Structure 1
């Protein structure tokens, strides 16, 4: 199944503040470069496809793929489940020889469940934080 999400907007807020205070004093080419980076941060899209034997992680800008990583079970060290904020579940896929990625920006409870099933089916180590276990306990009774 394929899930789509947006990237973190925290970087966007920092760049907007930076553009207001710092950009007027910089050269024209640097200003254009920063504004293009700002555009990419706001318009990019992230996709995660889960199949029975691999994960495919893509970062896209409009319909163009900027980054693509195909992960089989032997390339994944573990999947660490944790909590962000009060009630948001998160999972971070720890990768051997590559960039780790989190799935909080997908805002999907179903994705977290599918990642756990994927890890169990492919004998990938699962690590759950104490906070995550509290969330599981609380939401399983309601």
Structure 2
């Protein structure tokens, strides 16, 4: 199944605040570079496809794929499940020889369940934080 999400916009807010103070004093090419970087940060989309034997992670800008990685069980060290904020579950896929990625911004409980199942079926190490276990316990009783 394929899941789509957007990255964190927190960095966007920090850059906007800084650029109001810094941009007028910079050269034209630096201003254009910063504005292009802001566009990529705000308009990119992330896709994660889970199949029975691999994960496919893509970062897209509009319809153009900027980054694509297909991960089999041999490429994944472990999947670490944790919590962000009060009640948001997160999973971070720890990759051998590549970039780790998190799935909190997909906002999908089903994605978390599918990652757990993927790890179980493919014999990938799973690590759950104490906070995550509390969330599991709380939501399993309701």
Q: TM-score range by the shorter chain?
A: over 0.9
1:124-139 alignment to 2 at 5 Å?
Answer: 124-139=124-139
The CA deviation at 1:14 is 1.0
Distance 2:83 2:93 in 1: 14
TM-score (norm. length: structure 2):
0.99
The CA deviation at 1:105 is 0.6
Distance 2:83 2:15 in 1: 26
Distance 2:46 2:11 in 1: 15
Question: Which residue of 2 is the match for residue 30 of structure 1?
Answer: 30
Question: Which residue of 1 is the match for residue 114 of structure 2?
Answer: 114
Measured on the aligned residues, the alpha-carbon RMSD in Å equals 0.4
The CA deviation at 1:6 is 0.2
> 1:5-32, CA deviations, whole angstroms, 9 ceiling, x for partnerless residues?
0011011001101110100110000000
Q: Which segment drifts farther, 123-132 or 9-18?
A: 9-18
Q: In the comparison of the two structures, how many residue pairs are matched?
A: 142
The CA deviation at 1:128 is 0.2
Structure 1: runs of 5+ lacking an equivalent: none
> 1:77-130, CA deviations, whole angstroms, 9 ceiling, x for partnerless residues?
000000000000000000000000000010000000000000000000000000
SS at match of 1:123: coil
Structure 2: runs of 5+ lacking an equivalent: none
